[in-house]
Structure 1
Amino acid sequence: MFLTRVLALDVGTSSVRARVYDERAEALRGVEVQTRYELTDGHEGQAEFDADQLVAATRAAYEEALREAGGEVDAVATSCFWHSLVPVDGRGRAIGPLLTWRDLRAADAARRLGGLVERDDVHARTGCVLHPSYWPAKLVWLREAEPELFRSAARFLSFADYLQLQLTGDARTSLSMASGTGLLALADGTWDTQLLDAVGLDHAHLPLLSDEPVDAGTPWFPALGDGACSNVGAGCMTPDRAALMIGTSGAYRVVRAADRLEPRPGLFLYRLDRARLVEGGALSDGGNLYAWLEETLRLPEAQVVADAEPDAHGLTFLTLLGGERSPHWNAQARGALTGLAFDTTPADILQAALEGVAFRFAEVADLLPEVREVVATGHALVANPRWAQLLADVLERPLVASGVDEASARGVAVVTFERLGCATEPAPLGRLYEPRPERRDAYRSARERQRELYRGVT
């Protein structure tokens, strides 16, 4: 009988899930809650939430899962989306919207900030580039666009910190969550003073850095970044085994020991904890692109689309509808589609989009040559085996589907069991996709066309 149980919250940008795991890191049957919500988008790059509505949704999921588990667990752990920003007043209440990584209104601020601080030095110190996804640019934009709100803020928190504050009364932030802000000095695990000076803040405006649990009756561990948790949950814990995730967005990541703190050009470098780092690249177009195409086009069956001959449509799709993150971090970049003709079909456009995302992943994969095995995770990918096969073809290496249906939730449970002194079972794996060599040349040629299009429009 497995006595230790962890309630895991997985807070994403489209829903919150709550599950309870036993010491094997297996989810308890019949204990699963999911609440969906929608992001507020705008034409100027707006992408935000009402922070208190997300707190209410998460609280409800937590309470329902706890009831289904019989009212008792040994710890609460949270996986939460990285890079969010919430201004709060002296009473700890949100006084502005929750800005997400998708909010691009700080693009000009990121560019101007590059004139005040050395971009390469910032990347070297923090593992993050100057980009509107991260806090430095968001804070400068907020200071200029909403000066009264900026002055009124007693502190700035990630949503994970704000959630913990509302549910436990404590707003401490983990090294993992802090590393995704772009304000953490990776080497010593403290807030970066140079960047704080550049954005006009001091340490008092930021939360306490601590990985220690809050005593809320049941130990409540500070949230970890969802990307780090996804790798752990899928069993991708070494530099030679990458997790390729397509959910709302996309990411290609490895976990490695924190013995080398120098980020490589084009890649981010975050912390999982004090001993481990998460290195990789992120795409802003993933499952959200597929959903947009479903709404915009009359799509045929995905199976028919993905079985088409490679690059037979003659299209080149630069899949940057949400701007670019890795590898060039050009927030002003936008999507483009060339080669359209009167005989182009919705199936052709979808095929070109799936290939286009795969080509962007290949650009990131080239920067992590030590990877020998790729594990596919994320609902948008695991639910579409044809897309997984296409990725194996483009990456020219085997890709194995994760056997874990909720990698981030399982991952934060695994880390919590580690801290509680419990050993867990290895992550299960699913179907193996071998690259089809007969498609290699066609995809290489199409990938080069996408590079040429990128150079032509950015």
Structure 2
Amino acid sequence: MASEFEIDWQDAVPPLVLALDVGSTASRGMVFDAHGRPVGRRAKVAHGFTVAPDGTSELDPDQVVEELREIIDTLTTALDGRPVAGVALDTFASSLVAVDRQGAALTPCYTYADSRCGHHVDSLREEVSEEEIQQRTGTRVHSSYWPARLRWLAAERPEVVDAAALYLSLGDYVLRSLTGAVATGTSSAAWTGMVDRHTADWSPEVVALAGIRLDQLPPVHHLDQPLEISAERAGELARTWPELAEARWFAAVADGFAANVGLGAHDETTIGASCATSGALRVLIRDLPDELPAGLWCYRVSHDRALLGGALNDVGRALAWADAALATGAATGAATGAASQPAYDVATDALTDALRSEPQESTPLVLPFFTGERSTGWASHARAVVTGLGEGSSPVEVYRGVAEGIALAYARIESELRVAAPQSQQLVCGGRVSTDRPELLQMMADAMQAPVTPVTIKRSTLRGCALLALETLAPGVERARPPHGETLTPDPQRRRHYAHRLDRFERVYEALFRS
């Protein structure tokens, strides 16, 4: 296969997939051919989370539905009558929307970054064995997962719980609104923290612990199980979008799963790193580990696969804060708070030089937990910390400290992941931050003491979403290989600096956040 990705309609090989992605900062869409190559134009509608100092992080789910309708309108118009064989959707994971019997939203979409259920995290950890929960579901007790969030909802909004017929992830809500089908993808379900990683279905014990019933959850659909859409709704869809008349719609998948596949990290040999608003290191496995490391999660993503890794709430979000708060001159927009990130498109020479320079012990140490910590310590109440800040510390030095802190956070995950997935031979990386701030990738390589290879295509998550649908629609077709940039290798002279910084990072963390 040729490595060119941007192709014209005359070069597209059917079947075509219309892929949709709902991220932290925008909804996006694009059409892909059977080889996994993007065809024609992209479509995008920007949005932002509603955030507040109390840990609020919300998004209007009906706004997202309208965004995706607009995107589908744009893409089907560009298709000019060409038929689409499948519609695939991924969204940011660990979201929650409560709906009534008619399917109307009773709540906003609570995002993965909403930490208002922190007290319920603490009480759950006292009530149950967190180790047992992790070994059962692959997830820890944390504010980003549903058990604590549902308990918080029952305590704060009992009228919603009384009226709720179903609890859905954002992708489930979108697809119910568009197609009428009630279903959830295996990976979307797993990111709730309530799926048994061995059975790939809801865990009755954990669902009961969350305070809801099994019949308030949508049925789980694996990757090879398209949605069942009524004849009436299928007719409505065909009249609205004739190009989708014969399309099979697939249950929503979690964006982390799609991102790994889109980067080419589709088996045990390759670790996929995402560097976007949030971040992660993940490896796709077929053999479930008997025991999970305490710092990692293991999401069951289909009947035959699981995703092992760890996540960071704040990568682009942390850099956007640094742009705005430190007035480095890097920001192109008003990055006031987490709702308007990332905004670091144009860097000053001084900032770029500072990020490329040799590391210095005088650089402030930053623990970049602006919206709480997931892997590896799971301190949802954690917030960002800056130490070693002196009168002579310049804004660009603090910015470098933020970037180093992100690299160290990745290194914490990588050290556990290499033990749990020793088959991994390479690490590939994608996401907007890896493009806008390539200096961060060198820091990551130095902090992890491992090579990092950037994948240079845009919207790798969208591509992965399409590839997962193509497993069913075109199983025998060879996929195009995504283009790579130059591999960044670790500098052995910097090993001591980052080892020392990581030790300091852990000591500060232990003193402030370890319960």
TM-score tier after normalising by the smaller chain length: over 0.9
Question: Matched residue of 1:129: which SS?
Answer: coil
State the distance in 2 between where 1:190 and 1:445 align.
43
Question: Matched residue of 1:251: which SS?
Answer: strand
Counterpart in the other structure of 1:119: 130
Counterpart in the other structure of 1:101: 112
Counterpart in the other structure of 1:199: 210
Question: Matched residue of 2:373: which SS?
Answer: coil
Query: Any residues of structure 2 matched to 1:316-335 within 5 Å, and which?
Result: 316-335=365-384
| Aligned amino acid, residue 134 of structure 1 | Y
Within the candidate set 435, 443, 446, 1:382 is matched to: 435
Counterpart in the other structure of 2:72: 62
Counterpart in the other structure of 2:7: none
Within the candidate set 30, 34, 39, 2:49 is matched to: 39
* Residues 1:426 and 1:158: Cα distance change in structure 2 (over 3 Å): same
State the distance in 2 between where 1:317 and 1:259 align.
35
361-370 or 194-203, which deviates more: 194-203
State the distance in 1 between where 2:432 and 2:94 align.
21
| Aligned amino acid, residue 428 of structure 1 | P
Q: Is 2:20–2:462's contact at 8 Å kept on the other side of the alignment?
A: yes
Aligned-pair identity in percent equals: 31
Within the candidate set 402, 417, 431, 1:368 is matched to: 417
* Residues 1:73 and 1:186: Cα distance change in structure 2 (over 3 Å): same
Give 1:258 shift.
Answer: 4.0
Counterpart in the other structure of 1:306: 355
Counterpart in the other structure of 1:269: 298
Query: Any residues of structure 2 matched to 1:224-243 within 5 Å, and which?
Result: 224-243=253-272
State the distance in 2 between where 1:311 and 1:107 align.
36
Give 1:73 shift.
Answer: 1.0
| Aligned amino acid, residue 377 of structure 2 | H
Give 1:117 shift.
Answer: 2.4
Question: Matched residue of 1:368: which SS?
Answer: helix
Q: Is 1:98–1:159's contact at 8 Å kept on the other side of the alignment?
A: yes
TM-score by length of 1: 0.97
1:140-178: CA deviations, max 9, x gaps?
A: 000001111111111100000000000000120111111
Question: Matched residue of 1:388: which SS?
Answer: helix
Question: Matched residue of 1:201: which SS?
Answer: coil
Q: Is 2:261–2:464's contact at 8 Å kept on the other side of the alignment?
A: yes
Within the candidate set 94, 118, 121, 1:110 is matched to: 121
Matched, 1:179 2:228: no
Q: Is 2:98–2:164's contact at 8 Å kept on the other side of the alignment?
A: yes
1:380-425: CA deviations, max 9, x gaps?
A: 1222211111111111111100132111110011111111134222
Q: Is 2:89–2:253's contact at 8 Å kept on the other side of the alignment?
A: yes
Counterpart in the other structure of 2:448: 395
385-394 or 165-174, which deviates more: 385-394
Within the candidate set 275, 300, 309, 1:280 is matched to: 309
405-414 or 112-121, which deviates more: 112-121
Q: Is 1:311–1:352's contact at 8 Å kept on the other side of the alignment?
A: no
State the distance in 2 between where 1:194 and 1:177 align.
19
Give 1:186 shift.
Answer: 1.6
Counterpart in the other structure of 1:435: 490
1:414-451: CA deviations, max 9, x gaps?
A: 11111113422223222211111111111211221111
TM-score by length of 2: 0.86
Q: Is 1:127–1:269's contact at 8 Å kept on the other side of the alignment?
A: yes
| Aligned amino acid, residue 376 of structure 2 | P
| Aligned amino acid, residue 206 of structure 1 | L
| Aligned amino acid, residue 437 of structure 1 | P
When you count strand as a share of all residues, which structure comes out higher?
1
| Aligned amino acid, residue 189 of structure 1 | A
Query: Any residues of structure 2 matched to 1:198-217 within 5 Å, and which?
Result: 198-211=209-222, 212-214=225-227, 215=229, 216=234, 217=245
Matched, 1:450 2:505: yes
Counterpart in the other structure of 2:394: 345
Q: Is 2:200–2:302's contact at 8 Å kept on the other side of the alignment?
A: no
Give 1:359 shift.
Answer: 0.6
1:260-309: CA deviations, max 9, x gaps?
A: 46433211111232111111000111000001111111215242221222
108-117 or 225-234, which deviates more: 108-117
State the distance in 2 between where 1:79 and 1:341 align.
44
Query: Any residues of structure 2 matched to 1:71-82 within 5 Å, and which?
Result: 71=81, 72-82=83-93
Q: Is 1:123–1:129's contact at 8 Å kept on the other side of the alignment?
A: yes
State the distance in 1 between where 2:327 and 2:209 align.
48
Q: Is 2:363–2:398's contact at 8 Å kept on the other side of the alignment?
A: no
Question: Matched residue of 1:289: which SS?
Answer: helix
42-51 or 365-374, which deviates more: 365-374
1:7-34: CA deviations, max 9, x gaps?
A: 00011111011000011111003x2101
Give 1:38 shift.
Answer: 1.0
Matched, 1:406 2:473: no
State the distance in 2 between where 1:117 and 1:448 align.
31
Within the candidate set 481, 493, 509, 1:426 is matched to: 481
State the distance in 2 between where 1:171 and 1:60 align.
22
Query: Any residues of structure 2 matched to 1:243-262 within 5 Å, and which?
Result: 243-260=272-289, 262=291
Counterpart in the other structure of 2:199: 188
State the distance in 2 between where 1:119 and 1:446 align.
29
Question: Matched residue of 1:280: which SS?
Answer: strand
Counterpart in the other structure of 1:4: 15
State the distance in 2 between where 1:134 and 1:445 align.
33
Matched, 1:289 2:289: no
Counterpart in the other structure of 2:406: 357
Give 1:4 shift.
Answer: 1.1
| Aligned amino acid, residue 357 of structure 1 | I
Q: Is 1:382–1:388's contact at 8 Å kept on the other side of the alignment?
A: no
Matched, 1:417 2:470: yes
Q: Is 1:186–1:261's contact at 8 Å kept on the other side of the alignment?
A: no
